[in-house]
């Protein structure tokens, strides 16, 4: 196993426990090795790189998924939740999204705010239970 795969696996298990196994269970029969590729590239060679704090990486991702529009909504929600764990406040996330009205337009920004509200409501529900 290469160093980047190892680093990616450690990080992915910390941020999204069980993700690699879930990807492999769902897509592995069609795309053998795909789950490992995601772990190696997305985590080992991107999120796990030094040079930019994890919190900052989430700002970048939330901004981009907002600007790209609603088709990335499931991933947007995952990354908003990830950004919360990496230390972003709700306000910082809302500001990141709303600023995107300048670049991706108002509909994209409003749709992403709705995704954020859903994540925050789930947080509140989990906190109560």
Considering the complex, state which of residue 13 and residue 120 has its C-beta at the smaller distance from its own copies.
120
By CB under 8 A, the residues from 18 to 57 that bind its own copies are 26-27, 30-31, 33-34, 37-38, 40-42, 45-47, 49, 51-52, 56-57
List the Cα angle 45/18/13 in 5-degree steps. Answer: 45
- Rounded to an integer, what distance in angstroms lies between the CA atom of residue 26 and that of residue 39? 15
3-state secondary structure (DSSP) of residue 51:
coil
Considering CB under 8 A, how many residues would be counted as binding its own copies? 62
23 contacts 40 by C-beta, under 8 angstroms:
no
55 contacts 87 by C-beta, under 8 angstroms:
yes
Residue 102 within binding range of its own copies, rule CB under 8 A = yes
By CB under 8 A, name the binding residues for its own copies.
1-2, 4-5, 26-27, 30-31, 33-34, 37-38, 40-42, 45-47, 49, 51-52, 56-57, 59-75, 90-92, 94-96, 98-108, 110-111, 113, 116-117
């Amino acid at each position: 196993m290469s160093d980047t795969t190892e680093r990616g696996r450690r990080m992915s298990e910390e941020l999204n426990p069980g993700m690699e196994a879930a990807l492999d269970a769902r897509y592995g029969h069609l795309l053998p090795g795909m789950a490992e590729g995601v772990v190696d590239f997305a985590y080992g060679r991107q999120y796990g790189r030094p040079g930019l704090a994890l919190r900052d990486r989430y700002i970048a991702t939330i901004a981009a998924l907002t600007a790209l529009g609603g088709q990335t909504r499931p991933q947007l929600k995952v990354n908003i939740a990830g950004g919360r764990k990496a230390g972003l406040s709700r306000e910082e996330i809302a500001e990141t999204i709303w600023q995107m009205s300048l670049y991706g337009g108002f509909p994209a920004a409003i749709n992403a705010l709705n995704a954020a509200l859903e994540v925050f409501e789930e947080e509140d529900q989990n906190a109560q239970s």
